[in-house]
Amino acid sequence: MNTTEIDVNAAGHDDLGVFYSQPHADEKQVALSARIDMYALLADIFRYPDPMTLLYVRKGEFKNNLLSMAKKLPYNLTISAQESADLAFAENLKEDEVEVEFIRLFEAGPGHPPCPLVEGVHTDKEEGRKSVFKDLILFYNHFGLSYAEGSSEDRADHLIYELEFLHYLSFLELTAIQKGRDGNPLRRAQRDFLERHLSKWTGVISNRMKEIEAGLKEGVNRDVIRFYRNAIVLLDRFVQSDYEYLKASTSN
């Protein structure tokens, strides 16, 4: 994502410390911090893979961080032993092998790639796609974030942007609580955003990745496909669990 950006500096908050939380005072803040970190971690893993990403995953740091965060969440996020093992790349995996499969899965292909990471593609009608985009911009703008449209790949409905937005909202909730303010409006905003966006389509791409893996042909690196399929399955599990948790802990 080169030319599009969500400008968090335009948020209009009253001090530069808005993005720095105070030490966690209780278990609820620890759990909220785990949710914040999980959204950031999952957003990062679906960026275009660079050498640092390859090393981060291959050395097991991604797996270790995800499992550590999962233990601190305010609900049980089940991760099997096999799913845990599939959160790391093999030592002999090369950077270009990851790049090729990432592009083939998420970025290239006639019409659309096999598994596009943009919400609007998974909406049936053109008017529906426009409605998704408009609603996202309204969400971003309401919370003081500006969206500057760039190339066709840089879309407000990209998975990374939606995850980053939830990271941002949950971080603002923690900051509000630590400053003695009411965090409930920000929690309701997270619930509403999940209901109207992420929770509607992470299951779609999870099922799509399972189909892709089941139908792989020769010449495809199965290890890379398995890693991203596994990451998306766990992403969907986290999103759905977080949505259910927020529904149960908020009221209109």
pLDDT band for position 231 (cuts 50, 70, 90):
very high
What is the predicted pLDDT for the residue at 151?
A: 43
pLDDT band for position 122 (cuts 50, 70, 90):
confident
pLDDT band for position 12 (cuts 50, 70, 90):
very low
pLDDT band for position 125 (cuts 50, 70, 90):
low
pLDDT at 9 over 80: no
Residue 198 CB neighbour total at 10 angstroms:
24
Please state the domain count of the chain: 1
User: Is 13 part of a structural domain of the chain?
Assistant: no
- In degrees and rounded to multiples of 5, residue 193 shows phi and psi of -65, -40
Closest CA to 235 of 112, 77, 96, 103: 77
pLDDT at 23 over 80: no
Residue 205 CB neighbour total at 10 angstroms:
23
User: Is 131 part of a structural domain of the chain?
Assistant: yes
pLDDT band for position 127 (cuts 50, 70, 90):
low
For the stretch 187-227, pLDDT in tens is 999 999 999 999 999 999 999 999 999 998 888 999 999 99
Report which residue type is found at 27. Answer: E
Contact 142, 88 (CB under 8 A): no
For the stretch 144-192, pLDDT in tens is 887 665 444 568 999 999 999 999 999 999 999 999 999 999 999 999 9
Closest CA to 27 of 95, 70, 73: 73
pLDDT at 15 over 50: no
The residue segments making up the domain with residue 101 are 24-249
User: Is 41 part of a structural domain of the chain?
Assistant: yes
pLDDT at 124 over 80: no
Contact 233, 211 (CB under 8 A): no
User: Is 10 part of a structural domain of the chain?
Assistant: no
Instruction: Among 40-44, 130-134, 160-164, 172-176, name the one with the lowest average pLDDT.
Output: 130-134
Q: Tokens 């529904």, residue?
A: 247
Q: Please give the Cα distance from 5 to 93 (Å, whole number).
A: 31
User: Is 5 part of a structural domain of the chain?
Assistant: no
Q: Please give the Cα distance from 84 to 66 (Å, whole number).
A: 9
User: Is 140 part of a structural domain of the chain?
Assistant: yes
- In this structure, what token pair is assigned to residue 197? 């966006």
For residue 166, what are the CA distances in angstroms to 40, 58, 152, 190?
A: 9, 27, 23, 6
Please give the span between the terminal C-alpha atoms of the chain, in angstroms, as a whole number: 35
For the stretch 56-70, pLDDT in tens is 999 999 999 999 999
4 vs 96, higher pLDDT: 96
User: Is 154 part of a structural domain of the chain?
Assistant: yes
User: Is 68 part of a structural domain of the chain?
Assistant: yes
**Any idea what the CATH number is for the domain that residue 36 is in?**
1.10.3480.10
